Amino acid sequence: MITSVLKAKAVKPSASSSTSNTPLNRIVKLEATLLSEPYDPNPLLPLLALARHESAQVVHKAVWALHRVFIRYINDGKVGGLNGDLANRTGGGSEDVDGERDLEAGGEEREVKGWVRERLLEYVEILGGLVRDIEPALRTSSIPLLFSLLPPLSISVSPANTPLIHTPYFRLVLHYLIFPTSSLRGAQPKATKGWKTIAANQVEDVAGVLPQDVAKIVVDDFWAQYDDIRWAFFKEAANLILSQTTTLPHPENLLSQLLPLSNLPKLVGDINTFYIPWFSTPPSSSSQPAKKVKKVKKGKGKGEVDALPDWMKEYESSGSESDSEAQSGKAKRKRISQMSVHTSVYSVQSHTTLYTTLWENVLSAVPLDEVWTRKILVGLHGEKGILGHFKPERRLRIADWLGGLVDNGGAMAMLAMNGLFVLITQYNFEYPRFYERLYGLLDRNVMHVRYRARFFRLLDTFLSTSLISASLIASFIKRLSRLALTAPPSGTILLLPFIYNLFKRHPGCMIMLQRQPTSILSVSMGHTEEDQKLVDPFDEEETSPLKTRAIESSCWELASLQKHYLGPIATLAKIFGEVFTKPEFNMEDFLDHGYGTLFETESNRKIKNPPALALSLETATEGEIVPFPSRDVERQDSVDVVSQLWAF
């Protein structure tokens, strides 16, 4: 009996130990060891291995445990060598954030801090890979964890009363958002450098593309919400584009984060929300520029986050003083390149400059497909549009990009023309060939594309001004009348009210409805009536709308449409033969017509006088010709062509 009890007691500890060795329990024990005294960072290695576990539950718990550990270590100054380019893993252990303490400390302490730094970068690499994990909970958790390390890192490198953003770490986060890597969940180390990932754990998207739900979290919860990190995003994203030796492999990763940002600060009071708490205190008016602060700190490297001496050196300065400020006696604004980070974050001028620079780099160096080009063109205008947040003196720089789209033609040309029209009417941009380019877009293809409604909405805007000459409007009327002859019924029923509105706005073109056609040859010259040929002076091949001689022509095309086979079109075309007393048509009633709406209208039409129908079908008697014979009817005599066509 005693022996059996001892055996039972010996079995129980082994069972409990196997339960305690589960991955979830090991995570709890490793975290407790790392946060306890005495200080021992060695358990970071097994905890990082658990963060690459196959189970999503284990990974989720491990990354949160590592987050709490590294937050404590950063606040306690146990992570060293955070200066330099973190993305390339350079400078590990050679420098410490706290320069004075490292000089006094022994080499062993610096080595331990550098080793912890490498483990921190491994943790960030794991988080960066989770943005493309197939498990949604891991994707949504990785973004807040990545950003949560930024405030303690920024505070640890900031000197007294001088808030900074930890630029190297911010660049590393931005790198994972624009160049996302594969998830390391379940990955095994290769014989050489790198990891062998599991394809089943990757999100079902093209490799290297940021998932849409991740991009939405980044935009909604970070860029659009916090002024300080949005400022850093504009700055570092512009630098990233310029530093690329090749084009971005997936531009949508950057554009999906940049294009939705439409509510940017326009007044100093709009800058009031900060992710790094230290920026909540506004800078004092007597704050020194960044260059002078650098001279004070020179020698010991306190607070130096980046290798660059100036935070804003690469940006175009705009230190000109407005007239109102000069008259009121206000102090001159500092040049942006001389502002400290703290001052720049609170400067609307700095936000605007960085936003403008980023978009200029995107439009000049990033390859855009048709989908993103259309999205940019649509979001270009309005108070909260892209141009609305541009620096006023640099808005015209976008005209080159718009002009290139117009030259290429196609679906984007009309939207690009809208951008040029806004620059002309609102920003005094000179584009002498605007209406010539617009006239060139009116070909028969425009009546068969899906963006036809948008095209004519914009065309109506471009031709709405009464300051356009009658000869130019006449060319558009004549070109649209020609298009109405070959357009589908849904297009013709759109063009007729459009042309009517042009006549109402420009009465000088009414002569085109009243002019009688002329002939090349006349009877007085000795030619018969059969020799006479009517001539239209309109030059259809001329590209300039001012040289087509359309004002000397007539709108015979509109008269021919009065005999159109479709009743509504024929009825609508007759308005050009009546007195122009009706008001302009509302084009929204005609823009969305198609074959479906036309058929529905005709099928629902109430017929006042039904057509007469025969009550019985008369058959042909012997000897009569059957007008529509069937196949089995053999006829000896010949029949006309129409009867042959109708023989089924």
pLDDT of residue 637: 52
What are residue 188's phi and psi, to 5 degrees? -120, 145
Q: What is the mean pLDDT of residues 495-518?
A: 88
**Pairing between β-strand 518-519 and β-strand 188-189 as defined by DSSP bridges:** unpaired
Which has more confidence, 245 or 96? 245
Indicate whether 104 pLDDT > 70: no
Q: What is the mean pLDDT of residues 416-430?
A: 87
Question: For a pLDDT cut of 90, what percent of the chain falls above it?
Answer: 46
pLDDT of residue 542: 93
> 65-74: per-residue pLDDT in tens?
999 999 999 9
pLDDT of residue 397: 87
Q: What is the mean pLDDT of residues 389-410?
A: 88
Which has more confidence, 214 or 610? 214
Task: Give the count of beta carbons closer than 10 Å to the beta carbon of residue 428.
Answer: 8
pLDDT of residue 68: 96
- pLDDT-derived band of residue 7, with 50, 70 and 90 as boundaries? very low
- Most confident range (mean pLDDT) of 85-94, 352-361, 604-613 is 352-361
pLDDT of residue 81: 74
Question: What's the CA gap between 116 and 636, in Å, rounded?
Answer: 105
- Output the pTM of the full model: 0.75
Which has more confidence, 93 or 594? 594
Question: What's the CA gap between 262 and 379, in Å, rounded?
Answer: 9
Indicate whether 562 pLDDT > 60: yes
pLDDT of residue 100: 43
> 207-232: per-residue pLDDT in tens?
899 999 999 999 999 999 999 999 99
What are residue 595's phi and psi, to 5 degrees? -60, -35
For tokens 């002009």, what's the residue? 403
pLDDT of residue 648: 47
> 305-335: per-residue pLDDT in tens?
444 334 334 434 343 334 434 444 444 555 5
- Distances in Å between the Cα of 568 and the Cα atoms of 444, 573, 582 are 22, 9, 18
Q: What is the mean pLDDT of residues 59-79?
A: 94
Question: What's the CA gap between 439 and 459, in Å, rounded?
Answer: 10
* Spatial contact of 217 and 140, defined as CB atoms under 8 Å apart: yes
pLDDT of residue 617: 60
pLDDT of residue 137: 94
Which has more confidence, 614 or 394? 394
Indicate whether 296 pLDDT > 90: no
